[in-house]
Homo-oligomer: A and B are copies of this chain.
Amino acid sequence: MTNLFKNKKLRETPFRKEVLAIFTKYNNAIPLSIIEKELNEYNRITLYRTIKVFIEKGIIHEISLNGNISNYALCKEKCDTIAHYHQHIHFKCNNCKVIFCVEVDKIPTIKLPEYIIDQFEIQATGLCQKCNLIS
């Protein structure tokens, strides 16, 4: 994945590598606060711009669930500068509060008489496997 930055026409800097490494370490969506904790040292403006450019280039995507601060997760699909294409839903566990990107075979579609839909996003809340086993 060394050439991810090159593919996206981004310069490969130590800071960007560090931030990317944090995203690959986690396999779920994470808020800024976790990224900040993982970084030994950082400049908040650079981090802000790094997140922004990662989203623009389709490296990560933002997940805004109502009442929650934004979370970010790696894009697994062929996202690019033009658009994000996701075959997954966003699931938030009400117990552990973790937000997962869950891959699904097909996103159910819905027809609306008065609207032309070109993208769907599904957010769900409930219990993740781990929390379900415990309770």
Name A residues whose Cβ lies closer than 8 Å to a Cβ of B: 55, 61-68, 70, 89, 91, 93-94, 100, 102, 104, 108-110, 112, 114-129, 132
Asked whether, in the complex, the Cβ of A119 is within 8 Å of the Cβ of B125, the reply is: yes
Residues from chain B with a CB closer than 8 A to the CB of A124 are 110, 112, 115, 117, 119-121
Q: Chain B residue with minimal CB distance to A127?
A: B116
B117 touches A125 (CB 8 A): yes
Task: Give the residues in chain B near A70, CB-CB below 8 Å.
Answer: 66
Question: A114 near B126 (CB under 8 angstroms)?
Answer: no
Given contacts A62-B66, A119-B124, A121-B124, contact A129 B114 (CB under 8 A): yes
A122 and B125 contacting across the interface, CB-CB below 8 Å: no
Q: Which of B115, B122, B132 contacts A121 (CB 8 A)?
A: B122
Contacts of A118 in B (CB 8 A): 94, 125-127
The smallest C-beta distance from A116 to any residue of chain B, in angstroms, reads 4
Shortest beta-carbon distance from A86 to chain B in Å: 11
B residues less than 8 Å from A64 (CB atoms) = 64-68
CB pair A66 B66 closer than 8 Å: no
Q: Give 9 pairs: A residue, B residue, CB < 8 Å, sorted on A.
A: A62-B66, A64-B66, A64-B67, A102-B114, A108-B109, A118-B125, A118-B126, A119-B125, A122-B123
